[in-house]
Amino acid sequence: MASAAEILTPRATEGALSPESVVVRFAGDSGDGMQLTGGQFTLSTALAGNDLATFPDFPAEIRAPQGTLFGVSAFQINFGSSDITTAGDAPDVLVAMNPAALKTNVKDLKPGGLIIADTGEFTKRNLEKAKYEVSPLEDGSLGQWRVLSFDISQLTMDSVKPFGLGNKEALRCKNMWTLGLALWMFDRSREPIIAWLKAKFAKAPELAEANIAALNAGHAYGETAEIGAEGITLPQYSLAAAPQPQGLYRTITGADSIAYGLVAGAQLAQLPMFYGGYPITPASAVLHSLSKLKEFGVTTFQAEDEIAAIASAIGASYAGQLGVTCSSGPGIALKGEAMGLAIMTELPLVIVNVQRGGPSTGLPTKTEQSDLYQAVYGRNGDAPLPVIAARSPADAFECAIEACRIATQYMTPVILLSDGYIANAAEPWKVPDVSSFAPFPVAFMEQAQEGGLMPYARDEKLKRPWIKPGTPGLMHRIGGIEKAQNSGHIDYSPANHQAMTDIRRNKVAGVANSIPDQTVEQGAAGGKLAVVGWGSTFGPIHQAVKRARAKGQDVSHIHIRHIWPMPNNLGDLLKSYDKILVPEMNTGQLKTVLRDQYLVDARPLNKTSGQPFRIAEIEAAIEELLK
């Protein structure tokens, strides 16, 4: 994912305004470079000052057979001159690089939307792979949309012919030609992309020049092609910059945001950080980001498996560092036993779960929220731990800091929930002033208490002391077998186990005393309907409630960051509404927790398609409940 950084100063917003926001989807074969095209278009859009949200959508196969329906990769971006919180419901523009891309994506396009298609790929063989009997560009089946079709493949080869590339290498520049056309359509500068190409191909300048030539050719085509097929004019849009507070901005993905937040949290705790991980989609990007941050006291370790990854992180915490591990649902399941060890030993540990569709291997590259039960309940024995959920890529930064704070201040493992949508999506992020975050430095025990060492003695938070191994005079037992109160010796007695179980439970429950009360994002604290969400459903819920309130409907939006324990005021807040709707990308997990904890009649709105909620889906559910 490309990044853009800009000092945003007050700017004039005069001039021609087209729509307030536009949704564009680039779709093609996995080898067509759609993610790169979308990422670079995002870069130029961010530098233009628009607010934006993106949604990369790609297959799990490393390289599916070329031209097939299950090999289609897509990148959607919603950008505009107003507040953008989702990647958009339906695209206004679909760029389809082959028949399979058209077939799998055209059903999502708005009526009257624009299709840009590469006729060079609509060959008999490719049409057969996409299950088309005849070309949809010729049979009238696309009549409800505007269609602009031209031979992008040939135009690309013509543009790079002076550089002596073979056909295969020349066609790899096709995504840059397409990007050039998109940059013209939306009045974007080519300069950042040209600079990026020169840096990327610094060791092969002929490839840089070929790609730049393709980029310029696509841009020039937009300038000169006045009339498309059947008299359709190739449009050009102009969107003003979005109003934003003055400051330093950059685009950020959820994976990068989590990585930076973990580093910031470790710095605020004044600890070095150790990350033990194992590759898994879509969580691996966090390891990739952290591996570039060694100068901040970060050690990254790719273990041989998920169990070794979390065990190494627990070992680091025992040694006096902040242990961190990250995975997705299948890997989190494998880490379950070791989580219990961290709970029993009462060591700080941050566990990041970038959720994906399940169960088992499930949908490796598709998003879901189906691991909430796993996070809250998914360990043997009574083994509670705090759970936090990020709502967006930018929000993941603060959530990671919060996870570090709770882990170190309460000597407990903490789970931070993200998902595939948050991890891969990007949005503008105002880089925060680090001095605005309150430090929470850790104090290690250096000498025994009066009367002798008590490694499981408690403070007012029920936190036990953190003792670095090798500290003179502080040798103590640690492990997974039940501990005696205070002394930490092995103790199987019924009364001791009851007491220790209660202490561990009460310590985690006490975290609620150091978190903010639950707020209402939109609407009043009480009324006819509250739409309650968590995680990446924030954007579509926010927009759906905004539209409903614009119609005069009595509806509010509540979004929960602290999933366990929940804010102290949440029960009373929920009971102040007549009805509660809980949209989730699962079969109703938060809904069940809310019913269990507060005895409220929470109604589910569930989706497990691997795709994010659309605004319209939540809006329709609001209408239905308010009838």
CATH for the 520-626 domain, from 3.40.50.800, 3.20.20.70, 3.30.70.100, 3.40.50.920: 3.40.50.920
**What is the rounded CA–CA span in Å between residue 142 and residue 129?**
19
- Average pLDDT (291-297) is 97
**What is the rounded CA–CA span in Å between residue 133 and residue 129?**
10
pLDDT at 2 over 90: no
Sorted by where each begins, the domain ranges of the chain are 19-224, 250-436, 520-626
The three-state secondary structure class of 128 is helix
Q: Tell me if domain 19-224 and domain 250-436 are identical in fold.
A: no
The whole-number pLDDT of residue 4 equals 42
- Average pLDDT (33-37) is 93
The whole-number pLDDT of residue 233 equals 64
To the nearest 10 degrees (0 to 180), the angle between helices 191-200 and 205-224 is 160
Q: What is the pLDDT of residues 335-344, one digit of tens each?
A: 999 999 999 9
**What is the rounded CA–CA span in Å between residue 507 and residue 298?**
29
Q: Which residues of 227-252 are buried (b: 16+ CB within 10 A; e: fewer)?
A: ebeeeeebeebebbebebeeeebebb
Q: What is the pLDDT of residues 490-528, one digit of tens each?
A: 999 999 999 999 999 999 999 999 999 999 999 999 999
> Lowest-confidence range among 62-66, 127-131, 143-147, 542-546?
62-66
* Per-residue confidence band for 223, with pLDDT thresholds at 50, 70 and 90: confident
* Per-residue confidence band for 7, with pLDDT thresholds at 50, 70 and 90: very low
* 113 DSSP 8-state letter: -
Q: What percent of the chain has pLDDT over 90?
A: 88
Query: Could you tell me the maximum CA-CA distance found in the chain, to the nearest angstrom?
Result: 91
Q: Say if CB 346 and CB 391 are below 8 A apart.
A: no
pLDDT at 227 over 90: no
The model's pTM is 0.93
CATH of domain 19-224: 3.40.920.10
Nearest in space to 35 (alpha carbons), one of 426, 539, 391, 614: 426
Instruction: Give the architecture-level CATH label for domain 250-436.
Output: 3-Layer(aba) Sandwich (3.40)
End-to-end CA distance of the chain: 44
Alpha helices by DSSP H, listed for 450-559, are: 494-509, 538-550
Sheet strands (E) in 67-211 = 72-80, 93-96, 114-118, 146-150
pLDDT at 616 over 50: yes
The whole-number pLDDT of residue 3 equals 39
Q: What is the pLDDT of residues 106-118, one digit of tens each?
A: 999 999 999 999 9
Q: In what order do the strands lie in the sheet with 247-253?
A: 5-8, 247-253, 426-430
The whole-number pLDDT of residue 35 equals 94
**What is the rounded CA–CA span in Å between residue 374 and residue 376?**
6
The whole-number pLDDT of residue 226 equals 55
Q: What is the mean pLDDT of the chain?
A: 93
Q: What percent of the chain has pLDDT over 70?
A: 96
**What is the rounded CA–CA span in Å between residue 248 and residue 262?**
21
Q: Say if CB 263 and CB 300 are below 8 A apart.
A: no
The whole-number pLDDT of residue 11 equals 34
